[in-house]
Amino acid sequence: MASVLVASNRGPVSYVLGEDGSLDTRRGGGGLVSGLSAVSSQDSVWVCAALGEGDREAVRRGVGEPGVRMLDIDPDVYADAYNGIANSVLWFLHHHLYDIPREPVYDAEFRRRWESYRAYNRAFAEALAGAADEGAAVLVQDYHLALVPGQLRELRPDLRIAHFTHTPWASPAYLRMLPDDVREELLWGMLGADELGFHTSAWAESFAAGADVAGTGTRVAVHPLGVDAEELRALAYRPAVDERLAELRAEVGDRKTIVRVDRTELSKNILRGLLAYRELLTARPEWRGRVVHLASAYPSRQDLEVYRSYTTSVAALAEEINAEFGTEDWTPVLVSVKDDFTRSLAAYRLADVALVNPVRDGMNLVAKEIPVVSEQGCALVLSREAGAYEELREDALTVNPFDVSETAEALHTALTMPHPERADRTKRLATASTALPPQRWFLNQLEALRGPA
Amino acid sequence: MASVLVASNRGPVSYVLGEDGSLDTRRGGGGLVSGLSAVSSQDSVWVCAALGEGDREAVRRGVGEPGVRMLDIDPDVYADAYNGIANSVLWFLHHHLYDIPREPVYDAEFRRRWESYRAYNRAFAEALAGAADEGAAVLVQDYHLALVPGQLRELRPDLRIAHFTHTPWASPAYLRMLPDDVREELLWGMLGADELGFHTSAWAESFAAGADVAGTGTRVAVHPLGVDAEELRALAYRPAVDERLAELRAEVGDRKTIVRVDRTELSKNILRGLLAYRELLTARPEWRGRVVHLASAYPSRQDLEVYRSYTTSVAALAEEINAEFGTEDWTPVLVSVKDDFTRSLAAYRLADVALVNPVRDGMNLVAKEIPVVSEQGCALVLSREAGAYEELREDALTVNPFDVSETAEALHTALTMPHPERADRTKRLATASTALPPQRWFLNQLEALRGPA
């Protein structure tokens, strides 16, 4: 039994099943792990899903970490809930990613998956209900578990429940696409919480515009997650990163660098980023041969055709630009498709300009990490549709992510920014980025939940 | 000089150039032609664009109808304005049709086209300014000419200017995708009008939510265009239609019919209509062999790849359904790709059920025409995202156009509706559909414009 509970799809540990039947434990990082460490593990329980065969085997054998409760949900139910609803419906809605003439299609198959989503949420609600002390605080994470607050409220009216959304929230015109009863159930689930947290006021307002919050007793609050400067700098200045940095420097020479680091995710806007870079080289030919665009764009969700096709388009456009402008000793775009955090940190340190131009993004921590580890100061070109915009807008060069010409011009301004100005801005960006580090972010929510209801 | 002026891209006449050099005049129909006929042609001028080679030749020869002023705009400027901006940008924005991860791309090419759109609008503004009496009333039509009110206001502050939008208006989240200065220019153009008209309060509210109307002196008004019952019935009960009806009856036999009539337009939602029909045949197998879906879906904008691919998908899905359910003597879906109004009217008369399920639609006159000409009464399955929803919702079976299961169930309810109820509803739908026929619709706007400012 615990007085503080966290629920999230992915937990703080995972298990890999070896060929000899052994189980290897892997520990994750991230804001929640760091945040929950502020609470004694004797008082806390983290409820999460078994994700792979290793996790399922660990559950079967009763192997586990103290304070972690892993749920072995039926794999078909899990796949329908996680891929079929959370990542294919709710992710697309909240990020406005649907190609509306063709998608979404809410048919009988969708209905079947929605029942799995409900069951998967219910498994979490029941586990939480069974593990919570009288009056305990429960912090439910993200769009995977949007029904948990309502379900848990019915099982345990005594609990204090918070839900935090790490994505944006769909605008009313998008939310309205859901079947009415499904939309109502989704909102009922969310409004079971005492507090609903979002990264920025933009998403909080989007939620309030599509829901009937008044009179429900639910508070809508903004907790903009920041980065832990000390931890991040320690990671970024390890010898392994120094080595990658030296390699990158050798590759780039004395050219300026425009750096981006993303999963190849539809919302990240990598294509328009490349188009803006092409327009820069066309409109401002003085940059030809003098700049390199380092784009880390590692594959994501390759089980979905729309992601595979997007990934192909990114590679094709980069090649097109290299064919059009490249010379014997200059490759304009270097795309790296390997998910390599060490290389990313080296690129962060090296960057003269960072390009963070998502079409819609819950927060975007890359925008907050780069200023913290930058060596010489880095000009940040930032989309106004990223959650980070609210805190970083004053010292970033902000752009409309659909406006490729404006983005190209912002890249030029960033590249020509005098060094003292760039250093000053980077310092202020780093301060803003670290204003609410994970532990404080977590404790703020916990305190808000335990305060007078 | 005139006291009433209309401006629209397409005019009331067009010219076809024969091989012998002769010019053949074609007269168009539609709400505006019918509406303007309420005004004496001596007092009125209709300004429109020369659309094809015939029109341009007519302008060169000085051929023309009294009261029609055709503008011979540079063909490249026209193509950029009409295809490049009006139909590829503004149409997509107002109907929410963009595949956001890839489109829109507002780059240097877009900027070039936007200048053409401005020039094309200016040609209209100048022609109107030159033809208008002191204090004349000018009625500007649609998204092609959104800048005309502002441009004309600068040239002729004495005029009374109305603009009517026949499409929906983009929700704020969509409008915000435009480059800031372009969005501001678009709104400046619109707000040059004394009155901005929309088909429904939903689009009027959408406009007001994205613009700063207060203090501009512009009124936002709703004028829901209806159909002229007498004219439409006269058209629908001609012998040529009787013949097509007899042919359709022979094809369909004693089966029930579900009828749809659309251009193959991304907003019309033909794919989900077919998916709903498939779900009907799956979930309610009693309808197999007892119903035929007559889908008139004639090709549109085939110069755009996204329309070609959509048209291909419609044909493929119809074939799939026929392959899955069809029998020797029953073809479940009959797709007609010919733009044949005579056949459409025959289908209107025959229909047991009409399916009008757009994802977003300014008005949708098909939903208003079918009840007027139906022979036996026709149950109307109607999208809540069609403009017609506001007036027809009580007697239609209304659906969320993304909810294929709900649409399938509505088709079942429509097919099983008892005859007296269907006839009663159709009668009331016809009354609502003819509440504001074109002449009245036009005169209302004219009177509003001439009333106290």
- Whether residues A191 and A272 share a domain: the answer is no
Rounded-to-integer distance, Cα B368 and Cα A33, Å: 59
Interchain CB distance below 8 Å, B173 and A177: no
Q: A106, B275: Cβ pair inside 8 Å?
A: no
User: At B34, is the pLDDT very low, low, confident or very high (cuts 50, 70, 90)?
Assistant: confident
Write the DSSP assignment of A368-427 as a string of letters: HHHHHH-SS--EEEEETTBTTHHHHTTTSEEE-TTBHHHHHHHHHHHHT--HHHHHHHHH
Query: Which residues does chain A have within 8 Å of residue B279's beta carbon, measured at their own beta carbons?
Result: 107-108
Per-residue pLDDT, B396: 98
* Amino acid symbol at B264: T
- Distance to chain A for B160, nearest Cα, Å: 34
Q: Same domain for B264 and B115?
A: no
Lowest mean pLDDT among A92-101, B166-175, B292-301, B403-412: B292-301
Mean pLDDT for chain A?
95
What domain range includes position A71? 2-225+438-450
What's the rounded mean pLDDT across residues A268-276?
98
Residue range A344-348: mean pLDDT, rounded: 96
Using alpha carbons only, give the angle A272, A275, A281 rounded to the nearest 5 degrees: 145
Q: Per-residue pLDDT tens for A83-105?
A: 999 999 999 999 999 999 999 99
pLDDT above 80 for A38: no
**pLDDT attached to residue A39:** 78
| A104 contacts B405? CB cut-off 8 A | no
Q: What pLDDT is stored for residue B284 in this prediction?
A: 98
A52 plus A125 within the same structural domain: yes
Q: Chain A residues with CB inside 8 Å of B359's CB? A: 100-101
**Per the CB < 8 Å rule, is B101 touching A310?**
yes
Rounded CA gap, B314 and B312, in Å? Answer: 5
Share of chain B above pLDDT 70, in %: 100
Q: Do A402 and B106 touch (CB under 8 A)?
A: yes
Stretch A160-179: mean pLDDT: 97
Do A218 and A233 fall into the same domain? no
Look at residue B42 in the predicted model and tell me its pLDDT: 77
pLDDT for residue A36: 80
Q: How many angstroms separate the CA of residue B92 from the nearest CA in chain A?
A: 11
CA distances from A366 to A241, A256, A344, A352, B222 (A): 17, 19, 10, 15, 47
Taking the C-alpha atoms of residue B368 and residue A67, their distance in angstroms, rounded to an integer, is 63
- The residue among A107, A307, A406 with the most chain B CBs within 10 A of its CB, best to mutate, is A107
Share of chain A above pLDDT 90, in %: 91
Partners of residue B111 in chain A, C-beta under 8 Å: 405
Both A207 and A301 in one domain: the answer is no
Q: Is the per-residue pLDDT at A453 higher than 60?
A: no
Q: Are residues A296 and A157 in the same domain?
A: no
Which residues on chain A are in Cβ contact (under 8 Å) with B176? 400
Chain A residue set in contact with B, beta carbons under 8 Å = 96-102, 104-108, 110-111, 171-174, 176-180, 266-267, 269, 271-272, 275, 279, 282-283, 306, 310, 313, 359, 400, 402-406, 408
Q: What mean pLDDT comes out for the span B413-418? A: 98
Residue in chain A closest to B99 (alpha carbons) equals A99
pLDDT at A413 (0 to 100): 98
Tell if the CB–CB gap between B179 and A406 is shorter than 8 Å: yes
A202/A123 same-domain check: yes
Quick one: average pLDDT of B7-21?
A: 94
What digits encode the pLDDT tens for the residues B210-260? 999 998 999 999 999 999 999 999 999 999 999 999 999 999 999 999 999
Query: How confident is residue B33, by pLDDT bands cut at 50, 70 and 90?
Result: confident
Same domain, B218 and B277: no
**B-chain residues within 8 Å CB-CB of A405?**
106-108, 110-111, 179
> Would the CB atoms of B97 and A97 count as touching at under 8 Å?
no
Distance between CA atoms of residues A284 and A281, nearest Å? 5
Residues in chain B closer than 8 A to A306 (CB atoms): 101
What per-residue confidence (pLDDT) applies to B452? 63
- Whether A119 shows a pLDDT value over 90: the answer reads yes
Chain B contacts of A173, Cβ < 8 Å? Answer: 96, 171, 173-174
Q: In this predicted model, what pLDDT tens digit does every residue of B304-345 receive, in sequence order?
A: 899 999 999 999 999 999 999 999 999 999 999 888 899 999
Q: Give the pLDDT of residue A452.
A: 63
Comparing CB atoms, the residue among B98, B279, B306 nearest residue A108 is: B279
Q: In total, how many domains does chain B have?
A: 2
* Whether pLDDT at A41 is above 90: no
Q: Are residues A288 and A302 in the same domain?
A: yes
Same domain as A234, residue A170: no
- Which one of B100, B178, B180 has the shortest CB-CB distance to A96? B100
Please tell me the predicted confidence (pLDDT) of residue B432.
98
pLDDT of B37 above 90: no
pLDDT at B453 over 60: no
Q: Do the chains contact at B106 and A404, CB–CB below 8 Å?
A: yes
Domain shared by B187 and B305, yes or no: no
Give the CA distances from residue B168 to residues B193, B205, B267, B364, in Å, rounded to whole numbers and listed in that order.
18, 10, 11, 11
Task: Say which residues have a Cβ less than 8 Å from residue A405's Cβ, sequence separation at least 6.
Answer: A276, A279, B106, B107, B108, B110, B111, B179
CATH of the domain at A400: 3.40.50.2000
Considering the domain architecture, whether residues B131 and B248 belong to the same structural domain is answered as no
> What pLDDT band is residue A414 in, cutting at 50, 70 and 90?
very high
A408 contacts in B (CB within 8 Å)? 107
More confident residue, A243 or B32: A243
Which residues from B are below 8 Å from A275, CB to CB? 105, 107
Q: Under 8 Å CB-to-CB from A220, ≥6 apart: which residues? A: A195, A196, A198, A204, A207, A208, A213
Distance CA(B332)–CA(B317), nearest Å, equals: 12
- How far A38 CA sits from the closest chain B CA (Å)? 39
Round to whole Å and give the CA distance between B68 and B72.
13
Average pLDDT of chain B is: 95
